[in-house]
Structure 1
Amino acid sequence: MSDYKEPSPVNPLPPAVWLLFLALALPELAFSLAEAGLIGGAGAVGWRLNALNDYAFSGVAFDFMVENGRLLPEHMLRFVTYPFVFGSFTSFLFAGVILLAMGKMVGDVLGGWAVALVFFLCGIFGALMFGWITNESWLVGAYPSVYGLIGTYTFLYWQRQVVSGGPQGQAFMLIGVLMGIQLVFGAFFQVGYDWVGELAGFVAGFAITAIVVPGGMARVRAVLRRR
Protein backbone atom coordinates (compact mmCIF):
# COMPACT_ATOMS: atom_id res chain seq x y z
CA MET A 1 0.00 0.00 0.00
CA SER A 2 1.39 3.39 -0.92
CA ASP A 3 1.94 6.00 1.78
CA TYR A 4 1.61 8.82 -0.72
CA LYS A 5 -0.72 11.61 0.35
CA GLU A 6 -2.13 14.28 -1.89
CA PRO A 7 -0.66 17.67 -0.96
CA SER A 8 -3.10 19.98 0.74
CA PRO A 9 -4.35 22.76 -1.58
CA VAL A 10 -4.19 25.14 1.39
CA ASN A 11 -0.92 25.53 3.27
CA PRO A 12 -1.52 25.23 7.03
CA LEU A 13 -1.33 28.36 9.13
CA PRO A 14 0.88 28.44 12.23
CA PRO A 15 -1.18 27.75 15.39
CA ALA A 16 -0.28 31.18 16.79
CA VAL A 17 -1.96 32.83 13.80
CA TRP A 18 -5.14 30.79 14.29
CA LEU A 19 -5.20 31.62 18.01
CA LEU A 20 -4.81 35.35 17.33
CA PHE A 21 -7.48 35.24 14.63
CA LEU A 22 -9.92 33.44 16.92
CA ALA A 23 -9.20 35.96 19.69
CA LEU A 24 -10.28 38.69 17.26
CA ALA A 25 -13.16 36.78 15.68
CA LEU A 26 -15.01 35.37 18.70
CA PRO A 27 -15.78 38.71 20.42
CA GLU A 28 -16.74 40.23 17.06
CA LEU A 29 -19.04 37.29 16.36
CA ALA A 30 -20.78 37.82 19.70
CA PHE A 31 -21.15 41.56 19.09
CA SER A 32 -22.48 41.08 15.57
CA LEU A 33 -25.00 38.42 16.61
CA ALA A 34 -26.12 40.61 19.52
CA GLU A 35 -26.62 43.63 17.24
CA ALA A 36 -28.67 41.43 14.89
CA GLY A 37 -30.88 40.48 17.85
CA LEU A 38 -29.95 36.80 17.67
CA ILE A 39 -28.41 36.45 21.14
CA GLY A 40 -28.47 38.20 24.49
CA GLY A 41 -31.82 39.93 24.34
CA ALA A 42 -32.41 43.67 24.21
CA GLY A 43 -29.51 44.53 26.50
CA ALA A 44 -27.00 42.80 24.23
CA VAL A 45 -27.13 45.69 21.75
CA GLY A 46 -24.78 47.57 24.08
CA TRP A 47 -22.17 44.81 24.36
CA ARG A 48 -19.87 46.37 21.78
CA LEU A 49 -20.06 49.82 23.32
CA ASN A 50 -19.38 48.42 26.78
CA ALA A 51 -16.38 46.49 25.50
CA LEU A 52 -15.01 49.58 23.78
CA ASN A 53 -15.38 51.60 26.97
CA ASP A 54 -13.64 48.91 29.03
CA TYR A 55 -10.91 47.65 26.68
CA ALA A 56 -10.18 50.19 23.91
CA PHE A 57 -7.06 52.32 24.21
CA SER A 58 -8.01 55.63 25.81
CA GLY A 59 -6.05 58.71 24.81
CA VAL A 60 -7.63 60.61 27.70
CA ALA A 61 -6.44 58.03 30.22
CA PHE A 62 -2.99 58.01 28.61
CA ASP A 63 -2.70 61.79 28.90
CA PHE A 64 -3.80 61.61 32.54
CA MET A 65 -1.13 59.02 33.37
CA VAL A 66 1.60 61.03 31.61
CA GLU A 67 0.62 64.33 33.21
CA ASN A 68 0.37 62.86 36.71
CA GLY A 69 3.21 60.37 36.49
CA ARG A 70 0.94 57.47 37.47
CA LEU A 71 0.61 54.07 35.82
CA LEU A 72 -2.93 52.83 36.40
CA PRO A 73 -3.18 49.05 35.86
CA GLU A 74 -6.70 49.16 34.43
CA HIS A 75 -5.57 51.61 31.74
CA MET A 76 -2.16 50.02 31.12
CA LEU A 77 -4.07 46.84 30.29
CA ARG A 78 -5.71 48.68 27.39
CA PHE A 79 -2.35 48.62 25.52
CA VAL A 80 -2.83 44.88 24.96
CA THR A 81 -6.63 44.59 24.89
CA TYR A 82 -7.59 47.28 22.34
CA PRO A 83 -6.62 45.17 19.27
CA PHE A 84 -9.34 42.67 20.18
CA VAL A 85 -12.30 45.07 20.01
CA PHE A 86 -13.51 46.66 16.78
CA GLY A 87 -15.94 49.38 15.92
CA SER A 88 -17.66 47.27 13.26
CA PHE A 89 -17.65 43.88 11.57
CA THR A 90 -16.16 45.39 8.41
CA SER A 91 -13.21 46.75 10.38
CA PHE A 92 -12.62 43.30 11.89
CA LEU A 93 -12.88 41.64 8.48
CA PHE A 94 -10.10 43.68 6.89
CA ALA A 95 -7.81 43.30 9.91
CA GLY A 96 -8.50 39.56 10.04
CA VAL A 97 -7.62 39.09 6.37
CA ILE A 98 -4.32 40.97 6.82
CA LEU A 99 -3.55 38.92 9.95
CA LEU A 100 -4.08 35.62 8.14
CA ALA A 101 -2.08 36.65 5.07
CA MET A 102 0.84 38.33 6.83
CA GLY A 103 0.81 35.83 9.70
CA LYS A 104 1.21 32.99 7.23
CA MET A 105 4.14 34.65 5.45
CA VAL A 106 5.92 35.72 8.63
CA GLY A 107 5.21 32.46 10.43
CA ASP A 108 6.64 30.36 7.60
CA VAL A 109 9.95 32.24 7.85
CA LEU A 110 10.34 33.12 11.53
CA GLY A 111 7.88 30.82 13.30
CA GLY A 112 4.60 31.31 15.11
CA TRP A 113 6.26 32.80 18.20
CA ALA A 114 7.51 35.68 16.05
CA VAL A 115 4.00 36.39 14.80
CA ALA A 116 2.67 36.69 18.36
CA LEU A 117 5.67 38.76 19.49
CA VAL A 118 5.33 41.22 16.63
CA PHE A 119 1.55 41.41 17.02
CA PHE A 120 1.67 42.43 20.67
CA LEU A 121 4.81 44.59 20.65
CA CYS A 122 3.69 46.55 17.60
CA GLY A 123 0.22 47.00 19.07
CA ILE A 124 1.75 48.43 22.24
CA PHE A 125 4.10 50.73 20.34
CA GLY A 126 1.34 51.87 18.00
CA ALA A 127 -0.88 52.83 20.94
CA LEU A 128 2.03 54.59 22.65
CA MET A 129 2.75 56.74 19.60
CA PHE A 130 -0.97 57.36 19.03
CA GLY A 131 -1.39 58.58 22.61
CA TRP A 132 1.78 60.67 22.54
CA ILE A 133 1.34 62.37 19.15
CA THR A 134 -2.43 62.83 18.78
CA ASN A 135 -5.22 64.30 20.86
CA GLU A 136 -7.67 61.60 19.81
CA SER A 137 -9.77 59.88 22.48
CA TRP A 138 -9.89 56.26 21.30
CA LEU A 139 -7.85 53.72 19.37
CA VAL A 140 -9.59 50.42 18.59
CA GLY A 141 -8.92 47.38 16.45
CA ALA A 142 -5.87 45.34 15.51
CA TYR A 143 -4.57 47.56 12.72
CA PRO A 144 -1.36 48.74 14.47
CA SER A 145 -0.62 45.08 15.25
CA VAL A 146 -1.25 43.75 11.75
CA TYR A 147 0.63 46.68 10.23
CA GLY A 148 3.49 45.50 12.42
CA LEU A 149 3.31 42.15 10.61
CA ILE A 150 3.38 44.06 7.33
CA GLY A 151 6.55 45.75 8.63
CA THR A 152 8.10 42.35 9.36
CA TYR A 153 7.14 41.03 5.93
CA THR A 154 8.53 44.20 4.34
CA PHE A 155 11.89 43.76 6.08
CA LEU A 156 12.14 40.11 5.04
CA TYR A 157 11.27 40.97 1.44
CA TRP A 158 13.64 43.95 1.45
CA GLN A 159 16.47 41.80 2.84
CA ARG A 160 15.91 39.26 0.06
CA GLN A 161 16.05 42.02 -2.53
CA VAL A 162 19.31 43.35 -1.06
CA VAL A 163 20.89 39.89 -1.22
CA SER A 164 19.65 39.15 -4.73
CA GLY A 165 20.34 42.64 -6.08
CA GLY A 166 16.70 43.17 -6.99
CA PRO A 167 14.82 46.48 -6.82
CA GLN A 168 14.58 47.29 -3.12
CA GLY A 169 11.68 49.70 -3.55
CA GLN A 170 9.34 46.82 -4.36
CA ALA A 171 9.49 45.72 -0.73
CA PHE A 172 7.77 48.94 0.35
CA MET A 173 5.02 48.82 -2.26
CA LEU A 174 2.40 47.28 0.05
CA ILE A 175 2.75 49.84 2.83
CA GLY A 176 2.86 52.60 0.20
CA VAL A 177 -0.43 51.44 -1.29
CA LEU A 178 -2.10 51.16 2.14
CA MET A 179 -0.93 54.61 3.22
CA GLY A 180 -2.05 56.00 -0.13
CA ILE A 181 -5.53 54.58 0.45
CA GLN A 182 -5.53 56.21 3.89
CA LEU A 183 -4.62 59.55 2.28
CA VAL A 184 -7.43 59.28 -0.28
CA PHE A 185 -10.01 58.38 2.35
CA GLY A 186 -8.75 61.19 4.57
CA ALA A 187 -9.32 63.68 1.77
CA PHE A 188 -13.01 62.77 1.46
CA PHE A 189 -14.01 61.44 4.88
CA GLN A 190 -13.31 62.25 8.51
CA VAL A 191 -11.17 59.23 9.35
CA GLY A 192 -9.26 60.54 12.36
CA TYR A 193 -5.65 59.81 13.18
CA ASP A 194 -5.64 56.04 13.55
CA TRP A 195 -3.03 56.03 10.79
CA VAL A 196 -0.50 57.32 13.34
CA GLY A 197 -0.81 54.09 15.33
CA GLU A 198 -0.80 52.01 12.15
CA LEU A 199 2.34 53.64 10.76
CA ALA A 200 4.03 53.33 14.16
CA GLY A 201 3.12 49.64 14.21
CA PHE A 202 4.67 49.18 10.76
CA VAL A 203 7.90 50.91 11.79
CA ALA A 204 8.07 48.81 14.96
CA GLY A 205 7.58 45.58 13.00
CA PHE A 206 10.32 46.53 10.56
CA ALA A 207 12.71 47.48 13.40
CA ILE A 208 11.99 44.40 15.53
CA THR A 209 12.68 42.12 12.58
CA ALA A 210 15.94 43.92 11.78
CA ILE A 211 17.05 43.24 15.36
CA VAL A 212 16.02 39.59 15.68
CA VAL A 213 16.96 38.33 12.19
CA PRO A 214 20.64 37.34 12.03
CA GLY A 215 22.56 39.96 10.06
CA GLY A 216 19.54 42.25 9.81
CA MET A 217 21.05 45.30 11.49
CA ALA A 218 24.32 44.85 9.59
CA ARG A 219 22.43 45.03 6.29
CA VAL A 220 20.51 48.13 7.44
CA ARG A 221 23.76 49.87 8.42
CA ALA A 222 25.40 48.89 5.13
CA VAL A 223 22.53 50.33 3.12
CA LEU A 224 22.50 53.53 5.19
CA ARG A 225 26.26 54.01 4.70
CA ARG A 226 25.81 53.73 0.94
CA ARG A 227 23.19 56.50 1.11
Structure 2
Amino acid sequence: MPSHHNASPVNPIPPAIPALFGVMAVAELTFSLGARGLAGGPEAIGWRVAAIERFAFSGEILGWMAQTRSFPPEHVMRLVTYPFVNGAFTSTLFACVMLLALGKMVAEALGQGRTLGIFFGSAAGGALIYAALGIGTPLYGGFPPVYGLIGAFTYLAWIRAKRLGEAQLRAFSLIGVLLGLQLVFGLLFGGGPWWVAEVGGFVCGFGLTMLMVPGGTRRLIARIRR
Protein backbone atom coordinates (compact mmCIF):
# COMPACT_ATOMS: atom_id res chain seq x y z
CA MET A 1 0.00 0.00 0.00
CA PRO A 2 1.28 3.53 -0.69
CA SER A 3 2.64 5.41 2.28
CA HIS A 4 2.09 9.14 2.78
CA HIS A 5 4.83 10.34 5.11
CA ASN A 6 3.45 13.87 5.26
CA ALA A 7 -0.12 12.84 6.06
CA SER A 8 -1.70 14.24 9.21
CA PRO A 9 -1.82 11.76 12.13
CA VAL A 10 -5.45 12.77 12.78
CA ASN A 11 -8.36 13.30 10.43
CA PRO A 12 -8.50 17.03 9.56
CA ILE A 13 -11.59 18.90 10.73
CA PRO A 14 -12.86 22.05 8.96
CA PRO A 15 -11.81 25.01 11.18
CA ALA A 16 -15.36 26.22 11.84
CA ILE A 17 -16.14 23.11 13.89
CA PRO A 18 -13.15 23.38 16.29
CA ALA A 19 -14.05 27.06 16.68
CA LEU A 20 -17.55 26.18 17.90
CA PHE A 21 -16.08 23.43 20.05
CA GLY A 22 -13.55 25.85 21.52
CA VAL A 23 -16.15 28.39 22.62
CA MET A 24 -18.23 25.69 24.29
CA ALA A 25 -15.23 23.99 25.90
CA VAL A 26 -13.62 27.20 27.19
CA ALA A 27 -16.91 28.29 28.74
CA GLU A 28 -17.27 24.94 30.52
CA LEU A 29 -13.64 25.00 31.67
CA THR A 30 -14.19 28.47 33.15
CA PHE A 31 -17.35 27.40 34.98
CA SER A 32 -15.75 24.20 36.30
CA LEU A 33 -12.61 25.93 37.57
CA GLY A 34 -14.70 28.64 39.21
CA ALA A 35 -17.00 26.13 40.90
CA ARG A 36 -13.98 24.33 42.39
CA GLY A 37 -12.41 27.54 43.65
CA LEU A 38 -9.48 27.27 41.27
CA ALA A 39 -10.17 30.56 39.51
CA GLY A 40 -11.90 33.84 40.16
CA GLY A 41 -12.25 33.73 43.92
CA PRO A 42 -15.40 33.05 45.95
CA GLU A 43 -17.74 34.81 43.51
CA ALA A 44 -16.68 32.41 40.73
CA ILE A 45 -18.94 29.73 42.19
CA GLY A 46 -21.89 31.53 40.62
CA TRP A 47 -20.36 32.03 37.16
CA ARG A 48 -22.48 29.31 35.54
CA VAL A 49 -25.72 30.67 36.99
CA ALA A 50 -24.77 34.19 35.95
CA ALA A 51 -24.02 33.01 32.42
CA ILE A 52 -27.35 31.20 32.21
CA GLU A 53 -29.16 34.35 33.32
CA ARG A 54 -27.33 36.42 30.72
CA PHE A 55 -27.19 34.10 27.70
CA ALA A 56 -30.03 31.55 28.07
CA PHE A 57 -33.06 31.83 25.84
CA SER A 58 -36.33 32.81 27.49
CA GLY A 59 -39.76 32.57 25.94
CA GLU A 60 -40.97 35.21 28.36
CA ILE A 61 -38.35 37.68 27.17
CA LEU A 62 -39.26 36.88 23.56
CA GLY A 63 -42.92 37.54 24.35
CA TRP A 64 -42.01 40.85 25.97
CA MET A 65 -40.03 41.87 22.89
CA ALA A 66 -42.94 40.97 20.62
CA GLN A 67 -45.44 42.92 22.74
CA THR A 68 -43.29 46.03 23.10
CA ARG A 69 -41.79 45.77 19.59
CA SER A 70 -38.46 46.41 21.20
CA PHE A 71 -35.56 44.13 20.32
CA PRO A 72 -32.47 44.89 22.43
CA PRO A 73 -29.40 43.13 20.99
CA GLU A 74 -28.54 41.61 24.38
CA HIS A 75 -31.85 39.72 24.28
CA VAL A 76 -32.00 38.94 20.55
CA MET A 77 -28.59 37.29 20.75
CA ARG A 78 -29.99 34.75 23.22
CA LEU A 79 -31.37 32.86 20.21
CA VAL A 80 -27.82 31.85 19.30
CA THR A 81 -25.83 32.21 22.54
CA TYR A 82 -27.69 29.69 24.70
CA PRO A 83 -25.97 26.62 23.11
CA PHE A 84 -22.60 27.67 24.54
CA VAL A 85 -23.76 27.53 28.18
CA ASN A 86 -24.43 24.01 29.43
CA GLY A 87 -25.82 23.04 32.79
CA ALA A 88 -23.12 20.51 33.74
CA PHE A 89 -19.77 19.12 32.66
CA THR A 90 -21.26 15.86 31.38
CA SER A 91 -23.74 17.74 29.17
CA THR A 92 -20.89 19.76 27.69
CA LEU A 93 -18.84 16.61 27.11
CA PHE A 94 -21.56 14.82 25.16
CA ALA A 95 -22.50 17.94 23.21
CA CYS A 96 -18.87 18.58 22.25
CA VAL A 97 -18.24 14.99 21.14
CA MET A 98 -21.37 14.99 18.97
CA LEU A 99 -20.50 18.43 17.60
CA LEU A 100 -17.04 17.31 16.48
CA ALA A 101 -18.26 14.07 14.89
CA LEU A 102 -21.36 15.37 13.14
CA GLY A 103 -19.92 18.78 12.35
CA LYS A 104 -16.96 17.21 10.56
CA MET A 105 -19.19 15.06 8.34
CA VAL A 106 -21.64 17.85 7.52
CA ALA A 107 -18.92 20.46 6.90
CA GLU A 108 -17.05 18.13 4.56
CA ALA A 109 -20.24 17.52 2.59
CA LEU A 110 -21.73 21.02 2.54
CA GLY A 111 -18.89 23.39 3.40
CA GLN A 112 -18.21 25.45 6.51
CA GLY A 113 -20.53 28.36 5.69
CA ARG A 114 -23.59 26.15 5.22
CA THR A 115 -22.69 24.15 8.33
CA LEU A 116 -22.54 27.30 10.45
CA GLY A 117 -25.87 28.37 8.96
CA ILE A 118 -27.40 25.03 9.93
CA PHE A 119 -25.91 25.18 13.43
CA PHE A 120 -27.13 28.67 14.28
CA GLY A 121 -30.34 28.34 12.26
CA SER A 122 -31.24 25.17 14.16
CA ALA A 123 -30.41 26.86 17.46
CA ALA A 124 -32.73 29.77 16.68
CA GLY A 125 -35.42 27.58 15.13
CA GLY A 126 -35.43 25.14 18.04
CA ALA A 127 -35.71 28.03 20.49
CA LEU A 128 -38.63 29.59 18.61
CA ILE A 129 -40.49 26.28 18.50
CA TYR A 130 -39.78 25.89 22.22
CA ALA A 131 -41.26 29.33 22.90
CA ALA A 132 -44.23 28.78 20.56
CA LEU A 133 -45.41 25.93 22.79
CA GLY A 134 -45.51 28.29 25.77
CA ILE A 135 -42.69 26.65 27.75
CA GLY A 136 -41.45 29.13 30.33
CA THR A 137 -38.35 27.27 31.53
CA PRO A 138 -35.15 28.97 30.30
CA LEU A 139 -33.44 27.11 27.47
CA TYR A 140 -29.69 26.52 27.47
CA GLY A 141 -27.27 23.83 26.36
CA GLY A 142 -25.70 22.75 23.09
CA PHE A 143 -28.04 19.94 22.09
CA PRO A 144 -30.65 21.79 19.94
CA PRO A 145 -28.08 22.89 17.31
CA VAL A 146 -26.30 19.53 17.58
CA TYR A 147 -29.63 17.88 16.79
CA GLY A 148 -29.77 20.29 13.86
CA LEU A 149 -26.52 18.75 12.61
CA ILE A 150 -28.12 15.34 13.09
CA GLY A 151 -30.96 16.58 10.88
CA ALA A 152 -28.43 17.65 8.25
CA PHE A 153 -26.66 14.30 8.43
CA THR A 154 -30.01 12.50 8.18
CA TYR A 155 -30.98 14.39 5.03
CA LEU A 156 -27.61 13.67 3.40
CA ALA A 157 -27.96 9.97 4.30
CA TRP A 158 -31.54 10.02 2.96
CA ILE A 159 -30.38 11.42 -0.39
CA ARG A 160 -27.53 8.93 -0.56
CA ALA A 161 -29.86 6.00 0.14
CA LYS A 162 -32.17 7.18 -2.63
CA ARG A 163 -29.31 7.32 -5.13
CA LEU A 164 -28.13 3.83 -4.17
CA GLY A 165 -31.64 2.38 -4.21
CA GLU A 166 -31.54 1.52 -0.52
CA ALA A 167 -34.27 1.90 2.11
CA GLN A 168 -34.44 5.62 2.91
CA LEU A 169 -35.96 5.06 6.33
CA ARG A 170 -32.57 3.81 7.52
CA ALA A 171 -31.37 7.41 7.37
CA PHE A 172 -33.56 8.15 10.40
CA SER A 173 -32.04 5.39 12.54
CA LEU A 174 -29.67 7.76 14.40
CA ILE A 175 -32.36 10.20 15.50
CA GLY A 176 -34.63 7.27 16.34
CA VAL A 177 -32.01 5.74 18.64
CA LEU A 178 -31.27 9.08 20.33
CA LEU A 179 -34.93 9.85 20.95
CA GLY A 180 -35.47 6.33 22.28
CA LEU A 181 -32.56 6.70 24.71
CA GLN A 182 -33.83 10.11 25.73
CA LEU A 183 -37.25 8.66 26.47
CA VAL A 184 -35.75 5.87 28.59
CA PHE A 185 -33.57 8.25 30.60
CA GLY A 186 -36.50 10.61 31.02
CA LEU A 187 -38.66 7.83 32.44
CA LEU A 188 -35.91 6.59 34.74
CA PHE A 189 -34.39 9.83 35.98
CA GLY A 190 -36.88 12.50 35.00
CA GLY A 191 -36.29 15.22 32.48
CA GLY A 192 -37.17 18.74 31.48
CA PRO A 193 -38.93 20.17 28.45
CA TRP A 194 -35.69 20.81 26.56
CA TRP A 195 -36.35 17.84 24.28
CA VAL A 196 -38.88 20.05 22.48
CA ALA A 197 -36.09 22.39 21.35
CA GLU A 198 -33.92 19.41 20.42
CA VAL A 199 -36.59 17.90 18.18
CA GLY A 200 -37.23 21.38 16.79
CA GLY A 201 -33.52 21.74 16.08
CA PHE A 202 -33.53 18.41 14.21
CA VAL A 203 -36.49 19.47 12.06
CA CYS A 204 -34.86 22.84 11.30
CA GLY A 205 -31.54 21.21 10.46
CA PHE A 206 -33.24 18.75 8.11
CA GLY A 207 -35.22 21.52 6.42
CA LEU A 208 -32.28 23.91 6.10
CA THR A 209 -30.12 21.21 4.56
CA MET A 210 -32.87 20.44 2.07
CA LEU A 211 -32.62 24.05 0.89
CA MET A 212 -28.83 24.37 1.08
CA VAL A 213 -27.69 21.32 -0.86
CA PRO A 214 -27.01 22.00 -4.54
CA GLY A 215 -30.32 21.79 -6.39
CA GLY A 216 -32.25 21.41 -3.15
CA THR A 217 -34.58 24.33 -3.74
CA ARG A 218 -35.33 23.14 -7.27
CA ARG A 219 -36.16 19.63 -6.06
CA LEU A 220 -38.37 21.02 -3.29
CA ILE A 221 -40.34 23.18 -5.74
CA ALA A 222 -40.76 20.23 -8.11
CA ARG A 223 -42.01 18.04 -5.27
CA ILE A 224 -44.52 20.70 -4.16
CA ARG A 225 -45.78 21.00 -7.75
CA ARG A 226 -46.27 17.24 -7.99
Given the superposition, is the C-alpha separation of residues 146 and 36 from structure 1 closer, same or farther in structure 2, using an over 3 Å criterion? Answer: same
**1:48-84 CA distances to partner (integer Å, 9 max, x unpaired)?**
1111101111122123233444434322111111111
2:171 corresponds in structure 1 to 171
Asked whether the equivalents of residues 161 and 167 of structure 2 are also in contact (C-alpha less than 8 Å), the reply is: yes
Q: Distance in 2 between matches of 1:177 and 1:203?
A: 16
1:16 corresponds in structure 2 to 16
Asked whether the equivalents of residues 114 and 212 of structure 2 are also in contact (C-alpha less than 8 Å), the reply is: no
The alignment of Structure 1 onto Structure 2 pairs a total of residues equal to: 224
Given the superposition, is the C-alpha separation of residues 45 and 173 from structure 1 closer, same or farther in structure 2, using an over 3 Å criterion? Answer: same
Q: Distance in 2 between matches of 1:219 and 1:173?
A: 24
1:210 corresponds in structure 2 to 210
Q: Distance in 1 between matches of 2:217 and 2:170?
A: 20
Q: Distance in 2 between matches of 1:203 and 1:4?
A: 41
Q: Distance in 2 between matches of 1:134 and 1:9?
A: 49
2:110 corresponds in structure 1 to 110
- Give the match's secondary structure for 1:138: coil
1:97 corresponds in structure 2 to 97
What's the CA shift for 1:190? 2.8
1:76 corresponds in structure 2 to 76
Given the superposition, is the C-alpha separation of residues 4 and 135 from structure 1 closer, same or farther in structure 2, using an over 3 Å criterion? Answer: closer
Q: Which structure 1 segments of 5+ residues have no match?
A: none
Asked whether the equivalents of residues 134 and 193 of structure 1 are also in contact (C-alpha less than 8 Å), the reply is: no
Q: Distance in 1 between matches of 2:67 and 2:102?
A: 37
Asked whether the equivalents of residues 99 and 146 of structure 2 are also in contact (C-alpha less than 8 Å), the reply is: yes
What's the CA shift for 1:115? 1.8
Q: Distance in 2 between matches of 1:137 and 1:212?
A: 32
Asked whether the equivalents of residues 91 and 141 of structure 1 are also in contact (C-alpha less than 8 Å), the reply is: yes
**1:19-45 CA distances to partner (integer Å, 9 max, x unpaired)?**
110011111101001111111111110
2:46 corresponds in structure 1 to 46
1:159 corresponds in structure 2 to 159
**More displaced 10-residue stretch of structure 1: 86-95 or 55-64:** 55-64
CA-based RMSD of the aligned residues comes to 2.1
Q: Distance in 2 between matches of 1:63 and 1:188?
A: 33
Q: Distance in 2 between matches of 1:8 and 1:223?
A: 43
What's the CA shift for 1:7? 3.1
Asked whether the equivalents of residues 130 and 196 of structure 1 are also in contact (C-alpha less than 8 Å), the reply is: yes
**More displaced 10-residue stretch of structure 1: 102-111 or 129-138:** 129-138
User: What is the TM-score when the length of structure 2 is the normalising length?
Assistant: 0.91
Given the superposition, is the C-alpha separation of residues 66 and 186 from structure 1 closer, same or farther in structure 2, using an over 3 Å criterion? Answer: farther
1:88 corresponds in structure 2 to 88
- Give the match's secondary structure for 2:25: helix
User: What is the TM-score when the length of structure 1 is the normalising length?
Assistant: 0.91
